[in-house]
A and B are shown apart, each in its own frame.
Chain A
Amino acid sequence: DAGVTQSPTHLIKTRGQHVTLRCSPISGHKSVSWYQQVLGQGPQFIFQYYEKEERGRGNFPDRFSARQFPNYSSELNVNALLLGDSALYLCASIPRVPISYEQYFGPGTRLTVT
């Protein structure tokens, strides 16, 4: 069984640029959540998507946006990158919404902003 896949693995961008990160959940899972993990800290919730609709949003600026596609894969977009956006971006796959609590994380995308 394939787990959560994320692409790319690593990414280097310049301040002011735009970035798109991609996630495919575990087969059969219809919901994903996105998290930002700054080095040395716990992951911070950014978004949850279920059935292509936003179900929750964390305390992140409007530069962060996301969407979910009919095949339940998802994209996280970040505009006007800042140095502080450098982090590991994690996607979590959620089995059953709204009753499921378990979240299974992918390997993440390491974003470096220079």
Chain B
Amino acid sequence: QQQVKQSPQSLIVQKGGISIINCAYENTAFDYFPWYQQFPGKGPALLIAIRPDVSEKKEGRFTISFNKSAKQFSLHIMDSQPGDSATYFCAASMAGNTGKLIFGQGTTLQVKP
């Protein structure tokens, strides 16, 4: 119940295309869902996050779609660029335990020029 399942494990997209990464969770007590971007040799960087009272959040080229009934959420990267090539992690946490993020397994994105 504490797991967050992420797919696909790897993704190759052409420059200008849309990258889509999906995550699913079981624990309905989760109420915060961030996405992190990690480059090799670096720590994860917070990209965008959503709370379950909102179905979609957009920041620049990055959009989170959230489906509370299906317990799924996804990251869409519009107009993907080679500089977006990185590993992306979804995560979840819950009220009263905000110091603990539970991460998905990660998706390695390669954007081809």
Contact = CB atoms under 8 A, between A and B. Distances in A.
Given A41-B105, A42-B105, A101-B32, A58 B42 contact: no
A90 B34 contact: no
Contact of A94 (B91, B99, B102, B106): B99
B98 A107 contact: no
Nearest to A45: B100
Interface in A44-61: 44-45, 48, 50, 55-56, 58
Interface stretch (B43-51, B54-62, B64-72, B75-83): B43-51
Contacts of B100: 33, 45, 48, 56, 58
Contacts, number: 69
Interface string A1-15: 000100000000000
Interface size class of A (residues with CB under 8 A): 20 to 34
The interface size bin for chain B is: 20 to 34
B102 A103 contact: no
Given A56-B99, A94-B98, A105 B45 contact: yes
Interface of B: 6, 32, 34, 36, 41-46, 49, 89, 91, 93, 95-106
Given A92-B101, A105-B46, A107-B43, 19 more contacts: A4-B43, A33-B99, A40-B106, A41-B105, A41-B106, A42-B6, A43-B44, A44-B103, A45-B99, A45-B102, A55-B99, A90-B43, A97-B99, A98-B96, A102-B34, A103-B34, A103-B99, A105-B43, A108-B42
